[in-house]
A and B are shown apart, each in its own frame.
Chain A
Amino acid sequence: MLGLNNKDTKFLIIVILLTLSTPFVMQPFSESSAMAQFNGGYPDLMQRVAIFGIFAIGFNILFGLTGYLSFGHAAFLGVGSYSAVWMFKLLSMNIIPGIILAVIMSGLFALMIGYISLRRSGIYFSILTLAFAQMSYNLAYSVLTPITNGETGLQIRPNDLRILDGEGSSTYTNLFGLQMSSSAKWEVWGHLFTFNVGFYVCAFIAICSFYLSLRIFRSPFGLMLRAVKSNQNRMSYTGLNPRPYTLAAFVISGMYAGLAGGLLASMDPLAGAERMQWTVGGEVVVMTILGGAGTLLGPVLGAGAIKYLENIFSKINENVLHGWFDFLPDGLENLLVWVFARFTGDGWHLTLGLLFMMVVIFLPGGLMEGAERIRNRFGSKGDIDETGASTTKPAE
């Protein structure tokens, strides 16, 4: 189906089902329970997980397949966001033109940076991309303020031009009138599920992105990219010029990043310079490695894990902790609250750092390896092939 073999079709269907049921999966606890703090099924987080999933899927096409480690993909995310917001300001609050321009602009930007950076490999390449991204960030924050609105970030104003929408039109992003921010809520047995238009738009695009990346992984082009990672020397002596392949991968992943940036702006029309900072570029690297570089689903899991941690753990303050341990004697309660407070609230970075270390130390293949191990432990050999390595078996 859809140009996939049976295994991949099954895989895709599972991914689609998982994505569509995110509002349930991320909202496992009843509203009244103490665990409700861990519910993540609200629109913003679900959107972010989907969007950063797209970002990481794209990054993985470059890093997972070719092994080129770019620290500068944040620049494309930023370019995508700025382009989209400018389209909202000038043309229409409909997200389609914004997203299209975001992908085009980031693609052009990636072509330029990639063309220069790919003259080098290894860490020299990484530093070149990092340098480009940092330059973009520093300039966007200061000198380019007329375009980027600097520190504050580019925002929508009621008196923007919006040629297609006309005077006094709504300032909410929409898809042909369907507002991104509108949601339906469903209360059942104390659970509250939110179905948000924006999330489903993101989810639809994320599934398309995933499908595209699946096709790339299984294509001769994907094979060439893996050849680049494996042995560039042999590739050259086999009559293949590695540069156009890596450049194509770089531009594709840059366009994915731009798409993610455009979507971020579509869900929340603000484009800040921070999106271009190296820490954001580093974040997608971390997401990809954490989930499992070179696997199809890993980067999405990594993105989900980090965004969840960032948004949920940072909100657990001592007050909440006291609520949890209320039933304990005072001394013990205070002790436990103190211990937990080191890792939550303002200590959430510590949890993040520890998580990186634990995963890299104990699960060298990232979260996907963890999933693999669990699957093996329980004996059932899943039939979803993750690495893409052995799917090129002859069709029996």
Chain B
Amino acid sequence: MDQIILQLLNGLDKGSAYALIALGLTLIFGTLGVVNFAHGALFMIGAFCSVTLQKILMISQITIDESKTDFLGNALKVKTPYVEVWFGEATGQAIIDWSVPLAILFAIPIMLFIGWAMERGLIKHFYNRPHADQILVTFGLAIVLQEVIKQFYGANPIPTPAPDVFKGSFDFGTMLGFEANKIIYPFWRIVYFVFSVIIISGVFSFLRFTTFGMVVRAGMVDRETVGLLGINIDKRFTIMFGVAAAVAGLAGVMYTPINSPNYHMGMDFLVLSFVVVVVGGMGSLPGAILAGFMLGILESFASMNEIKSILPGIDQIIIYLVAIIILLTRPRGLMGKKGVMED
């Protein structure tokens, strides 16, 4: 029982990452009808916003300490971050410690801008092109973006720890009447889950309760009619592209303490997020969320020893297996609309 609860928690956590990426992907697809293979790269860039902020905060004043030596036997250069010099050691360290949450503020404008620039500069010209062309051009863009990041940050993962207060784990088990240490879960992963729930409900309420959102939703259903009403739907869709990029970017920022970011993390998520979106049904936001959590949970359960001992290797293929079964039983995924991306 404790194992099941534990894997459920894991599943919710994994699922929230899948759901967030799939949400952004679906927003772009639903509004603009573009298959964006660069979405994983946006997630990666978000993560590197966090790395960048950390690097900026760590820009250091260099003093030479004659009493110590470096590996070559020269006098040691001691680095003190300017934030510590300016705000005092304690405050400075606290700011550096909180660099990941701070990176959210840092990432939002950057991601909105990148999304906007991508849409205006590139994607705009591909609305009426075949999906295969869209895939190729955004795939090319994804490679370019990740290579640029590699040029700056190298290929090695870069550690970006969560603030100290979120280190360690929380014991759910004792709350539910289990023994201590039976069901423990890291604080930051709980934060990640809560964060994604906030983002997801934020995007949904934005679409549901604001005029802007209602126009966008109407436009997703019937772009021409909304255009006839004299509303500049293109502009709104461009903004939605920025929002989608920001959602992906924030998912990336918050993910950095869970896994140290590296330049190809976007590609690692790309295939998976497409599977999630398609299983959810192309163009359906609730479908993407549902599929994200469902696949996350199933993947977690598949990695349980009890299941692996019966079906060796099941955790290697579970996502794809589930995708195949769902697509064969439900032709358009869980909640897909008819006629979308079927030709």
Contacts and interface: CB of A to CB of B under 8 A. Distances in A.
Contact of A282 (B139, B333, B342): B139
Given A123-B278, A289-B132, A116 B139 contact: no
Interface string B66-92: 000000000000000000000000000
Interface stretch (A50-58, A313-321, A353-361, A370-378): A353-361
Interface string B7-40: 0000000000000000000000000000100000
B306 to A, nearest CB: 17
Interface in B290-343: 312-313, 316-317, 319-321, 323-324, 327-328, 331-333, 341-343
Contact of A127 (B122, B133, B323, B331): B323
Contacts of B343: 67, 121-122, 232
Contacts of B282: 123-124
A360 B136 contact: yes
A127 B333 CA distance: 11
A130 B327 CA distance: 12
A143 interface: yes
Contacts of B321: 131, 135
Given A131-B275, A135-B317, A138-B317, A357 B144 contact: yes
A285 B271 CA distance: 15
Contacts of B271: 130, 134, 278
Given A124-B333, A350-B147, A360-B137, A134 B320 contact: yes
A143 B274 contact: no
A347 B148 CA distance: 9
A282 B138 CA distance: 13
Given A122-B343, A349-B143, A142 B333 contact: no
A128 interface: yes
Contacts of A289: 132-133, 136
Given A119-B328, A123-B35, A138-B317, A286 B139 contact: yes
A330 B333 CA distance: 61
A120 B331 contact: yes
A293 interface: yes
Contacts of A355: 140
Interface string A57-70: 00000010001010
Query: Which of B122, B135, B328: most chain A CB closer than 10 A?
Result: B135
B129 interface: yes
Interface in B135-158: 135-137, 139-144, 146-148, 151
Interface residues of B, number: 43
Interface in B112-168: 122, 125, 129, 131-133, 135-137, 139-144, 146-148, 151
Given A124-B332, A353-B142, A364 B136 contact: no
B140 A360 contact: yes
Given A121-B342, A353-B141, 18 more contacts: A67-B343, A69-B131, A123-B342, A124-B333, A128-B323, A128-B328, A130-B271, A131-B275, A131-B324, A143-B313, A290-B136, A347-B147, A347-B151, A349-B146, A350-B147, A357-B137, A357-B140, A360-B137
